[in-house]
Structure 1
């Protein structure tokens, strides 16, 4: 009885940061799934969902940051938690910026220039989210494999990106060059952030092992 009293009223609140990060990752995965449905499946509602931030990525970021700031003890390195929260947030912001730019440049979702890269991003997101899920079930080697799959996905995307940029360099259409360079670069940035997040995930699993 005394022990439960101490735990309830004296000891600092324990926060399951692994669960919080997995929840954040799942929301980012939902946003990337909307990106895929918007540009690959040409679903207009999914495009709107990204702009309206229906998945509340900002709210989950603020919740996790507040918990981190108020936590007396964390089961994981505090800086590692902060890095992942920031990187996941950056991914959400970059996706929203991509859709806003595509809309401003009057680029239809059916534009084939971006579909292949978005498919790679979706697969990266699948592996990253799976990595966070496996982190909760304490499978370090599986998490490391998931992180490597995200990095491999980035390398594959960069190869496609280089091919697209090389083709673009042969064009004489300045508007096409400008808009596609901007949008392709934004997709590459999203993929890069997914890779950086995977590196931080691997950093956490090493420290927890």
Structure 2
């Protein structure tokens, strides 16, 4: 009887105070998904690898599944170890990076463009920044100081992408092939936007560190 009472009491407690999801692990997993997607984008830009381009598109669907799952857990959680608004921002910013990877490949296909030196370098910097971001979220719970350092490195990668973006535009807008200029600018802009979202995710990581330290 005592065991039955204990089991009933545990079920009641679990229903009233459900177990808090491990949001640190969930964010680390989602950040790892970003690294995978951006890595595929970098491979696509390096070699014009069509298989990698198609994999980027498939990754976007898997990333959406992770985003929806994490947002659902956030909405259902009784309490969270991280500010709810910061969790929401981190989840959505990470997802936006993957979305821009897909948009870049889709528009290159639609506009019949191939990778160039600037798209290769921008994608490589994005990949490096995403790795810093993943490392930061991975150590956030155990080592907030290192997480903050990783966030700073990710922001530096974003600044490198922006410098490449401006240099690319200067070189692009030469000559008279205006249609090509406009097409290519759209691709550069998608990569710049991906870097912006990467910086947003890094800024959110920094904000979380400040609040939990």
TM tier, smaller: over 0.9
User: How far, CA to CA, are the matches of 2:13 and 2:27 in structure 1?
Assistant: 24
Once the two structures are overlaid, the 10-residue window that deviates more, 151-160 or 124-133, is 151-160
1:94 CA displacement: 1.2
**What residue is the counterpart of 1:162 in the other structure?**
166
TM-score (norm 1): 0.92
**C-alpha contact (below 8 Å) 2:135/2:150 kept by paired residues:** yes
* Alignment partner of 1:121 out of 112, 126, 133: 126
**SS of match in other structure, 2:44:** helix
User: How far, CA to CA, are the matches of 1:36 and 1:191 in structure 2?
Assistant: 13
Once the two structures are overlaid, the 10-residue window that deviates more, 158-167 or 182-191, is 158-167
Q: 1:54 to 1:114 in 2, by over 3 A?
A: closer
* Equivalence map 1:165-204=2 (5 Å): 165-204=169-208
* Alignment partner of 2:78 out of 72, 82, 98: 72
**C-alpha contact (below 8 Å) 1:77/1:204 kept by paired residues:** yes
**C-alpha contact (below 8 Å) 2:60/2:99 kept by paired residues:** no
* Alignment partner of 1:208 out of 200, 209, 212: 212
Paired residues in the alignment total 207
User: How far, CA to CA, are the matches of 2:59 and 2:129 in structure 1?
Assistant: 21
**What residue is the counterpart of 1:11 in the other structure?**
17
Q: Which runs of 5+ in 2 are unaligned?
A: none
User: How far, CA to CA, are the matches of 1:101 and 1:159 in structure 2?
Assistant: 22
User: How far, CA to CA, are the matches of 1:36 and 1:156 in structure 2?
Assistant: 15
Moved over 3 A (4+): 1-4, 6-10
1:55 CA displacement: 6.5
* Equivalence map 1:138-149=2 (5 Å): 138-149=142-153
**C-alpha contact (below 8 Å) 1:98/1:187 kept by paired residues:** yes
Q: Which runs of 5+ in 1 are unaligned?
A: none
TM-score (norm 2): 0.91
What's the RMSD between the two structures over aligned residues? 1.8
**What residue is the counterpart of 2:114 in the other structure?**
108
Pick the structure with greater CA Rg: 2
